[in-house]
Chain A
């Protein structure tokens, strides 16, 4: 039975490991049952799809700014380790609800999959605010995000300005068919080109599935079929950068204008360097900020608009500096 000594040690180590992790980033340990006597703080959780890109970090900054603006608000920011871990987001939402947060600000990793977790929250009287990605959830307080259709229209405007008044053929590289935000961008672009810019003619539309490598091959195909194309809108920056490589390989740098979407650092730098005509920026900071503000308003019983547009801005060489900070 010597073994049990070792087992005991091992178990203690295990618990110590767990504790070490807890101490790592938690600020709110109340082992004292009398903690509820303290002045009440309002705890709100921001649950994003992941925390692995600039977009989410900026959103978190916006949420922190809104939380800091009101005393007594404690903000927890949690996310699955990857965007595709939808079940992990469901678990997080369930656990945050059990923890007694007063409101949830959520960017759904899967709009259909997390509905029952959101339902559980509202059943417990926790208001749910959706940011960045909408979900068919009737009881949400509001959806706060980019109006992607308007973003597509803005892309058309940017492309038209880059091309000038001459007659020109343009092409569209879209995302995974069925992805709502990507489809909306494409539709906004198509509408605007048809109705507002009679000198532009849309000659090709092909999906590039939001992937850089596909953006490149799709651009090559478009150039083969339509060698006179003078402008391209890609519904995300990855595809825009892929298309840019295809054009530059054919010596068409600057001759064919490209507009992307998302204003990633890489795309903004390419814009400054004159390789892209521009990129449509979303405003994740505002999403986080408005999300927490809407949560507080809901808790105060104040009315909140059902749909809040956080706006889009066309980033060109002229205003790129502030996006490169």
Chain B
């Protein structure tokens, strides 16, 4: 039940490959080491957010709050750094804050029994954004210690640091979802919550964990974003949850839960990143980009539907 067959990831992988092929034919600037590293760096933040989103989508849930959590944690992180708090401590606080808001999302679901995470996370979406605006007074926070940007947005052996951070997060999550009892429980809960409960899985605790992880990924994304932008701003991450959800869905996860892989999500995030980059290189307007990405989401889910239909009749 937990791991999908290898060929389920074939559709997004093939899509990514074809996309790169088309883009390298369409633009002479696409297939250069410099640009490919550029896309990886640009995709890192969405990829990290998508990782958290994947965990909740596997449990048949959703987390709409992550974009706002990025906004709140980036404001807290940068305010702390500007007031002389050591960078590592500030980053730890940002991660903890993201995790805490995620945990609240989980508790709203498991303790208050709100009917759907759409509602609880819609609530925290607004609360977190409002808090970010209040704390920042509506203006960007700059003047961060120079070392922060140099390290977190710099590069390690030629690879951009945001990419290194995202890669580490993916590795950890791959092991967590695929090789630990927690991961197996999450797939089981998403597959059939009642059956999971009857099997003795502590469903509520696992759901709390899933949302806490989603919040933590938002905290991590905020740290990377702050370094990339060299500042904090209260509107950071506005709408980011939608790109993250899109990456997860394009990557083959099912909204009905129980299905989805770390590898697929990575491919989904890269498809969105390469698509944006390619369209930018071709000077396609942002409005067209929205249409293209919308079409890709629908087509990707349509493939999923067809696949399931074929699977049932075969």
Name A residues whose Cβ lies closer than 8 Å to a Cβ of B.
Answer: 1-4, 6-8, 10-15, 17-22, 24-31, 33, 35, 51, 76-81, 84-88, 90-92, 94-96, 98-100, 110-116, 176, 178-179
Q: Are A31 and B26 in contact (CB under 8 A)?
A: yes
Alpha-carbon gap, A94 to B299, bound state (A):
29
Please indicate the chain A residues that have their CB under 8 angstroms from the CB of B282 in the complex: 22, 26, 28-29
Alpha-carbon gap, A14 to B14, bound state (A):
10
Q: Are B19 and A14 in contact (CB under 8 A)?
A: yes
- Residue among B15, B22, B149, B233 making CB contact with A19, cutoff 8 Å: B22
In the assembled complex, 15 residue pairs joining A and B whose CB atoms fall closer than 8 Å, in A order, are A2-B310, A3-B306, A6-B307, A15-B15, A18-B19, A20-B292, A22-B284, A25-B283, A25-B288, A26-B26, A30-B28, A78-B280, A90-B229, A95-B281, A110-B233
A81-B296 contact, Cβ under 8 Å, with A15-B22, A22-B282: no
Please name the residue on chain A nearest to B143 by beta carbon.
A112
Q: Are A98 and B15 in contact (CB under 8 A)?
A: no
A81-B290, A84-B235, A110-B233 are known contacts; what are 10 more A-B pairs with Cβ within 8 Å? A3-B7, A10-B303, A11-B303, A14-B18, A15-B19, A22-B26, A30-B27, A86-B235, A86-B236, A98-B35
Q: Are B235 and A176 in contact (CB under 8 A)?
A: no
Please indicate the chain A residues that have their CB under 8 angstroms from the CB of B228 in the complex: 87, 90, 116
- Residue among B15, B25, B306 making CB contact with A14, cutoff 8 Å: B15
Please indicate the chain A residues that have their CB under 8 angstroms from the CB of B290 in the complex: 81
Please indicate the chain A residues that have their CB under 8 angstroms from the CB of B281 in the complex: 95, 98-99
Q: Are A116 and B230 in contact (CB under 8 A)?
A: yes
Please indicate the chain B residues that have their CB under 8 angstroms from the CB of A84 in the complex: 235, 238
Q: Are B288 and A10 in contact (CB under 8 A)?
A: no
CB distance from A219 to the nearest CB of B (A): 22
A2-B314 contact, Cβ under 8 Å, with A15-B18, A110-B140, A178-B137: yes
- Residue among A6, A8, A14, A111 making CB contact with B300, cutoff 8 Å: A14
Alpha-carbon gap, A116 to B26, bound state (A):
28
Q: Are B15 and A10 in contact (CB under 8 A)?
A: yes
Please indicate the chain B residues that have their CB under 8 angstroms from the CB of A11 in the complex: 11, 14-15, 18, 303
Q: Are B28 and A96 in contact (CB under 8 A)?
A: no
CB distance from B281 to the nearest CB of A (A): 5
Please indicate the chain B residues that have their CB under 8 angstroms from the CB of A110 in the complex: 140, 229, 231, 233
CB distance from A126 to the nearest CB of B (A): 14
Q: Are A94 and B235 in contact (CB under 8 A)?
A: no
Q: Does B196 contact A (CB under 8 A)?
A: no
Q: Which of B53-61, B101-109, B270-278 contacts the other chain? A: B270-278
- Residue among A33, A76, A94, A178 making CB contact with B38, cutoff 8 Å: A94
Interface-centre pick from A95, A111, A179 (highest chain B CB count, 10 A): A95
CB distance from B5 to the nearest CB of A (A): 9
Please indicate the chain B residues that have their CB under 8 angstroms from the CB of A78 in the complex: 280, 283, 285-286
Alpha-carbon gap, A114 to B28, bound state (A):
26
Q: Are A21 and B289 in contact (CB under 8 A)?
A: yes
- Residue among B11, B14, B139, B284 making CB contact with A178, cutoff 8 Å: B139
Please indicate the chain A residues that have their CB under 8 angstroms from the CB of B11 in the complex: 7, 10-11
CB distance from A235 to the nearest CB of B (A): 16
Q: Are A4 and B286 in contact (CB under 8 A)?
A: no
Q: Does B180 contact A (CB under 8 A)?
A: no
A98-B285 contact, Cβ under 8 Å, with A15-B15, A17-B299, A113-B229: no
Alpha-carbon gap, A176 to B140, bound state (A):
13
Please name the residue on chain A nearest to B239 by beta carbon.
A85
Please indicate the chain B residues that have their CB under 8 angstroms from the CB of A94 in the complex: 38, 42
Alpha-carbon gap, A284 to B292, bound state (A):
30
Q: Are A33 and B280 in contact (CB under 8 A)?
A: no
Alpha-carbon gap, A185 to B284, bound state (A):
36
Per-residue interface assignment for chain B, residues 122 to 149, with 1 indicating a CB less than 8 Å from any chain A CB and 0 otherwise = 0000000000000001111010000001
Q: Does B184 contact A (CB under 8 A)?
A: no
CB distance from A36 to the nearest CB of B (A): 9
Alpha-carbon gap, A13 to B26, bound state (A):
17
Please indicate the chain A residues that have their CB under 8 angstroms from the CB of B175 in the complex: none
Q: Are A6 and B275 in contact (CB under 8 A)?
A: no
Please indicate the chain B residues that have their CB under 8 angstroms from the CB of A115 in the complex: 230
A79-B229 contact, Cβ under 8 Å, with A7-B10, A98-B281: no
